Amino acid sequence: MNKLEYYTPDDMPKEIQAYEAKVEQLGVGKSGKVGILDLELQTDDEGKTVVTKQFSQVPLQIQRALYPENSLPKMAYLYVISPSGGILQGDRYRTDVVLKNKAAAHMTTQGATRIYSMNSNSASQILNITVDENCYFEYIPDQIIPYKNSRYYQKVNLNVHNNSTLVYSEILTPGRVAMGESFEYDICYLRTHCKDQDKKTRFLENTKIEPKKQRLRNFGILGEYEIVGTVYILTRKDNVHELENNLNEYIKNSDGVSVGTSILSDESGIIIRVLGNKTNSVFDVIFKILEISRKKILGAEFSKIRKS
């Protein structure tokens, strides 16, 4: 795990490579610049989901599993924490999560992913999620906040069995709006690639935002909105159409946001896009999506995430 290639994306876009430069303070790959989190989750003899393998390297850590959900007492809740407070120039993060043997888990972060201002190099994060047959996983991190002059590349690899479910979300904000920073970062590049158990592609999506080069207020980009939320629901085909109908019934008329849903190719899942101007409003929709999805797929309730 000490090799630079292990925690650096192998397909770094040329737009990110353009910022490649020596970091004078603390170079790429040095101690404290590499965050690693490696987890495996399985059910024990009583059907309770437990962590069966765990390795972490600061600035990435994981709290012990909690079981707060009354309707799903055996579902593990996991919280990713980072003592650094944010991602700095030259940082390289990698997270691997594997669910096996009918595991069911919910994972989130302690707070927002803050991408600090940069004057050399960039930052990247790799997230590999594998959901084996008959498993269920929700990964709902807090929002990404790119600071002024930051450069960030995130590569997400989802490997989801056709007979399992993954609900994955991400929220991208314009920056530190309260500090007068809005769309002042250099680049935020998000790439998400999902495959099934046979390595067949279920979907591939690239989001590249370069505020200093794009007119984000134009129609067809962000228009009147500033915050973009995305939810991917990968689940069994027989769930898809009814689930999308349920989602459209309850979230289309959400106040202060614009919501659109689409069924993925081969009916392998649903993508939901949420545009808004308040992070809480976008999260409210995502939590409603989670509530509807869990009810349909597991027949269980969802209690809003508590972090205080």
pLDDT, tens digit, for every residue of 125-135?
999 999 999 99
Query: How many whole angstroms separate alpha carbon 170 and alpha carbon 191?
Result: 11
**What is residue 52's three-state secondary structure?**
strand
Question: 84 — phi, psi (to 5°)?
Answer: -75, -20
Asked if residue 6 belongs to a domain, the reply is: no
Beta strands at 76-81 and 104-109: parallel, antiparallel or unpaired: parallel
| The pLDDT of residue 26 is above 60 | no
Asked if residue 279 belongs to a domain, the reply is: yes
Asked if residue 215 belongs to a domain, the reply is: yes
Q: At 165, is the pLDDT very low, low, confident or very high (cuts 50, 70, 90)?
A: very high
Q: At 85, is the pLDDT very low, low, confident or very high (cuts 50, 70, 90)?
A: confident
Q: At 220, is the pLDDT very low, low, confident or very high (cuts 50, 70, 90)?
A: low
Asked if residue 304 belongs to a domain, the reply is: no
| The pLDDT of residue 1 is above 80 | no
Q: How many domains does the chain have?
A: 1
Question: Tokens 């594997």 appear where?
Answer: 98
Tell me the mean pLDDT in the region 195-215: 94
- Is-above-0.85 flag for pTM? yes
Asked if residue 147 belongs to a domain, the reply is: yes
**What is residue 176's three-state secondary structure?**
coil
Asked if residue 36 belongs to a domain, the reply is: no
Asked if residue 229 belongs to a domain, the reply is: yes
Residue pLDDT, tens place only, 229-275: 999 999 999 999 999 999 999 887 778 899 999 999 999 999 999 99
Q: Give me 234's structure tokens.
A: 């990968």
Instruction: Please give the residue range of the domain that contains residue 243.
Output: 51-298
Asked if residue 143 belongs to a domain, the reply is: yes
